[in-house]
Amino acid sequence: MPKVLFLTTSHSYNDDRIFYHQAKALRDNGYEVKICSLQAEYKGFIDGIEIESYAVLEESIDHKMETFRKVCNDFQPQCIICSEPLAIVAVRNFVKENKISCIYDVTEWYPSLSMLQKYRFPAKIFQTVKFSLIQLYAGFLSTHFIFGETTKKFPLAYFFGFKKQMILPYYPDSIYIRESIKQLDTDTITLCYTGQISKDKGIENFFSTIDKLRHKMPTLHIRILIIGSTVDGDDELYFSALLKQYSFDHIEIRKPTAFERFTESLAEADICFDLREINFENNHSLPIKLFYFMGAGKPVIYSDLKGIRKHLGTLSFGRLVDPHHAEAISEIIINYIRNPESYHAHALNARKEFKEQYNWDRIKGSFVDFVNRSIDK
């Protein structure tokens, strides 16, 4: 029975991509699977997958690398799938000595804007170059690449184009999707925001749009549903100021839900929003939640991101917009209210596209085959 080890620093051991999709697909195909994360303490088995996770994210780099090396030496895998450069560097000797495959699963920009925000000019330039060289070194050490989306292929796929690679998008397994197509009420509407609450992720753009809508349609009962939370004190103060500024009458704020119940938690939403800022990192990203909204049958209004256009083209179940044009976005909502048949058609389109194209069942076989071929190289 081949052994596959997942190593990650920044993702949790029960990450939706790693645990719920990749690890379970390998388990179902006879692999012995283990996950090691540095985010939280946990040891044991969950659904037949071994977890050895440590809360050492704030420890030194040497300590984190030694943790990965120990887990690797104890487990003796035939394939290692890493989510970050540090893990790849940590196990480089094991990979070389045992002639096994080391797959770099690239789903985040490295370095990310959040990694660089604490640095000031000119230190920021130096750190950007340093982290970029680390990324290239990780690419050099890897034997294979998996990219979560086409826009994340740069720079590794261009520097190391001779290495085997595949695109593995963030399509969800249908077992985690609850369909909840709504019949739009022309007197009441529920608008939904999910995920991290911050300026970068578009909470102010979301509120600005609703403010325009309530002034245009004062008799419309607008219910706001927010499922998410802030991640630091600055975002908490920023969000509190926005709540005070807009003083919406009907707003419900829920803490993030367990992954398995995500689509269930937004069942009452009529339209789901993601009006994140369009910067380099966001623009070249393909938001994961888009496919969950699609599976639930929710029309969406998203920032016009290059990552979405490149992967899906024009949306048949919503609109791509300039997130700062609250006036235009409010008109899209009003058009749905005045033309409920258009809203219903978009909801049906979302479910249709999910079932026919954008679900895990369509791509998991190619993932398992890719891992298998990396072991048999």
Domains 3-171+360-375 and 175-356 share a fold: yes
In whole angstroms, what is the distance from residue 346 CA to residue 314 CA? 12
pLDDT at residue 377, as a whole number: 67
In whole angstroms, what is the distance from residue 112 CA to residue 200 CA? 13
Q: Pinpoint the alpha helices (H) of 220-261.
A: 233-246
Q: Pinpoint the alpha helices (H) of the chain.
A: 24-28, 61-75, 85-90, 92-98, 113-116, 123-141, 156-159, 203-216, 233-246, 262-265, 280-283, 289-296, 306-312, 326-338, 340-356, 364-375
Q: Domain-by-domain residue ranges, the chain?
A: 3-171+360-375, 175-356
pTM: 0.94
pLDDT per residue of the chain (377 residues) written in tens, 0 to 9: 899 999 999 899 999 999 999 999 999 999 999 999 999 999 999 999 999 999 999 999 999 999 999 999 999 999 999 999 999 999 999 999 999 999 999 998 776 666 667 767 777 777 777 778 999 999 999 999 999 999 899 899 999 999 999 999 999 999 999 999 999 998 999 999 999 999 999 999 999 999 999 999 999 999 999 999 999 999 999 999 999 999 999 999 999 999 999 999 999 999 999 999 999 889 989 999 999 999 999 999 999 999 999 999 999 999 999 999 999 999 999 999 999 999 999 999 999 999 999 999 999 999 999 999 999 86
CA 76 centroid distance within chain: 30
Give the distance between the most distant pair of CA atoms in the chain.
Answer: 70
pLDDT at residue 212, as a whole number: 98
pLDDT at residue 270, as a whole number: 98
Residues found in the chain: 377
Residues 6+ apart with CB under 8 A from 372: 2
pLDDT at residue 118, as a whole number: 73
- The separation between the first and the last C-alpha atoms of the chain, rounded to the nearest angstrom, is 17
The domain 3-171+360-375 is placed in CATH, from the list 3.10.20.30, 3.40.50.2000, 3.30.460.80, 3.40.50.720, at: 3.40.50.2000
What's phi and psi for 179, nearest 5 deg?
Answer: -70, 135
In whole angstroms, what is the distance from residue 284 CA to residue 281 CA? 5
pLDDT at residue 173, as a whole number: 98
Identify the CA nearest to 36 among candidates 96, 80, 102: 80
The domain 175-356 is placed in CATH, from the list 3.30.10.20, 3.50.50.60, 3.30.2320.80, 3.40.50.2000, at: 3.40.50.2000
